[in-house]
Amino acid sequence: MAESKFIETQAIHSGRINDEQFGSLATPLYQTSTFIFDSAEQGAQRFAGEAEGFIYTRLGNPTTRQLEMRVAAMEGMEDGAATATGMAAVSGALLANLAAGDHVISSKAIYGCSFALISHMLTKFGIEVSFVDMSEPENITKAIKENTKVVFLESPINPNLEVLDLEKILAITQQHQLISIVDNTFMTPVLQQPAKMGADIIIHSATKYLNGHGDVVAGIICGSKEMIEHIKLTALKDIGGTMSPHDAWLILRGLKTLHLRVERHCQNAQLVAEFLESHPKVAKVYYPGLKSHSGYQYIGKQMKAAGGVIAFELHTDLQGGADFINRMKLFSIAVSLGDAESLIQHPASMTHSPYSDEERRAAGISDSLIRISAGLENVSDLIADLKQSLDAIEDSAQQVA
């Protein structure tokens, strides 16, 4: 197809591999572990890189290849690598670019398992780590050492939705020739494209919005052809965290409606956030779509909209927060995001439990913080569900008094 600059078109057409034999409109699912060679000589040539063609699905597959090229096009990158999970994308991007003696700088607040990997696993292999508050980009400059190699961050940050100034941060990484890795899961390429600001590597938990239907765990890494080839031939090939073709097929199907789903997620989240901010039992709401949020200044500039995830704190204790979650009737208690269903969870005891109490406080993740992912239901039903549980907090408080 002719290349398009519009992401709605890219999500449906980019990277298409034509089915020349049968003319299938839908992407064929190549559910195979290995591929047949015409001859021993051809097999040898493919292994030597002297001939094109697939060898073994861990090394590449037509279905996963189409997904890689499609997401890369949507992110404005040259190439992509499909991984088994979002954490395989995180670990693959980091391990392919770090060695003993190197130094990595990370945002102090990131997804819990990314934090555990960087703080606990990388340090076991002689890699130095510094966690800094990237809301002040100059803190990155202050943390740079002679052996600094990689800068890792998310924006908005999971779970407190702090928005980082990507333009300033990526200008620093480029100036010091550091490899920048940006987790763009919360925004998706529909709302934010870090490559336009100079990111070297963009990663996604494709489990979330890219798939959007709660039936896949997967990840994506996007970057230059050279970088992706390096990641594929090292961390992914030898550690083996690659995606199955069936999962790739499901994500390709999900991508076709991504821009429509993201629009509805954002609409619902905005109205839910406004409701929560107006409720007397809610102490604070963290959502960049609210004028009260520090990230509001980046809407329309760095990011097109605020996304579908909201965090908030209640005027209650830890048990009161748990009771609030347990009373929800429409929201499902689950730790993912980006699904059609609205989800609710408690970061301190769930997604960010790898942090110690001290580490959580330093990252701005309180014990009372609650995170919700606004789904695709009618927003009136979502607000009604939140209201009935909030009203019960008021009733409980009056009974105690």
Name the residues annotated as catalytic: 58, 111, 183, 208
**Rg value, the chain, Cα:** 22
Residues 214 and 210: their CA atoms lie apart, in Å, by: 10
Strand partners, 182: 153, 202
**166-175 long-range contacts, CB within 8 A, separation 24+:** 166/194, 166/197, 166/199, 166/302, 167/197, 167/198, 167/302, 168/137, 169/134, 169/137, 169/140, 170/194, 170/197, 170/198, 170/199, 171/198, 172/137, 172/140, 172/141, 173/140, 173/198, 173/200, 174/198
Where does residue 173 fall: left (phi above 0), alpha (psi -120 to 50 degrees), or beta otherwise? alpha
Residues 19 and 28: their CA atoms lie apart, in Å, by: 7
- Given the structure tokens 């429409």, which residue do they identify? 330
Cβ pair 76, 223 in contact under 8 A: no
Sheet holding 369-373, edge to edge: 282-286, 309-314, 369-373, 343-345, 332-333
Nearest in space to 92 (alpha carbons), one of 222, 228, 236, 206: 236
Residues 272 and 204: their CA atoms lie apart, in Å, by: 25
